[in-house]
Amino acid sequence: MDRPVTVVIFEGGQAQTSLDKTISYVRSQVVLDTLSKLALASEIDRVILVTNNAELAGQASGLAEVDFDSDTRPFHFGARLRELIVSHKLDNVIYMGGAAAPLMTWEEFNEIALTLKANRNVVVVNNVQSADLVAFTPARAIDEIELPESDNTLGNLLRGIGMRRILIPNSGRVNFDLDTPVDIQILGMHPDCGPRALEAIQSLDWPAHKLEQALRILRQDSKEIAVFGRVGPAVIQYINTNMVHRMRVYSEERGMKALSRDERGEVVSLIGYMIQELGPAKFFEYLAKVCDLAFIDSRVIFAHLNKQVSDWDRFQSDLGRYDLVGDEWVREFTRCAWEAPIPVILGGHSLVAAGLWLLAEMVVREREGLS
């Protein structure tokens, strides 16, 4: 008997600032693009969108079942997902965050659904340490785990009760999600960006010339590219296989959030120590002497310094708008990065794990004459 597959998408949150509202709007358009793709996937039997965004709920009503969340009770990710599984009697579930994998194709969603239908006691994830797309069967396996507060640990918790883990074939598309403004900008540069998201991104007034400079440098041969932070080996392997750049890579604190090291104040960063000792200005001066372009996961540095940086400050830092950053140290760090002699791209985990990968893929596609 064929067991139906249900995609469950969570997209919500509370937008407090104008920047939050802009990001929330772009994410909502990504969700609508994803729902349109899922409609093409013949192996997907049902799609449920869980959101507290009334506008998105209205726009999505023709593309998915909408389970609207009011703001009358505290949100707990694991409890909400289990409640949904129980109330809708779900068996095979593909869970994803609203901005997860915005470049995945409907064919890839079909493959995940087929995997669930053909197997039992499996969990399919898009990332080993911090997944934001988790497919699993049976869905009631969620009863056997400690319900997580966020989706990052769901895959590992299910694996921990003996479910066989299957990794989605690795690619920039599969790992990429929208955590920060720079991720949104990279999505807007990609030829496979969905039409609704593209229209929303093209309307933004965010400075993008640093990313455009980065892409121009990646198009050239034999450049020195520095990558610091939670860098996985796959992106570096892709660049080394398909390009001729010299990579200067320092990977540290992978799994920082999934292991809650940031919450416990356990993050230790060699790059953070260097910036502390030299100061941001001297650090970026020296960095420009050893590379032509740098991608930096600034969250590791902030966590190393035990800084509780607000979303506003982190996101404005990513955009280089240092004059809008409230924290004095983060403002100076951002100014020095923005004024460095080389392009410095700041962001989070997605930047150094998948954003750079996507930029490299775009260059390779251009070179091979692919659209």
SS (H, E, C) 49-103: EEECCHHHHHHHCCCCEEEECCCCCCCCHHHHHHHHHHHCCCCEEEEEECCECCC
For domain 5-169, give the CATH superfamily.
Answer: Spore Coat Polysaccharide Biosynthesis Protein SpsA; Chain A (3.90.550.10)
* Cα gap 256→267, rounded to integer Å: 7
Residue 231 pLDDT: 94
- How does the average pLDDT of the chain come out, rounded? 94
Band (pLDDT 50/70/90 cuts) for residue 113 is very high
| 3-state SS class at 183 | helix
* pLDDT at 79 exceeding the cut of 50: yes
Q: Where are the domains of the chain?
A: 5-169, 208-367
pLDDT in tens, 262-283: 999 999 999 999 999 999 999 9
Separation CA 215–CA 209 (nearest Å)? 10
pLDDT at residue 162 is higher than 80: yes
d(CA 19, CA 313): 10
CA angle 102, 210, 252 (to 5 degrees): 70
| For range 76-102, the mean pLDDT | 96
pLDDT band at 371 (very low <50, low <70, confident <90, very high): low
Strands 246-251 and 122-125, by their bridges, are unpaired
* 169-178 per-position pLDDT tens digit: 888 888 898 9
Specify the amino acid at residue 79.
A
pLDDT of residue 102: 95
CB-CB contact of 139 with 116 (8 Å): no
Mean pLDDT within 10-14:
88
pLDDT computed for residue 16 by the predictor: 85
Q: Is the pLDDT of residue 187 over 70?
A: yes
The percent of residues above 70 in pLDDT, for the chain, comes to 99
Residue 1 has pLDDT above 50, yes or no: no
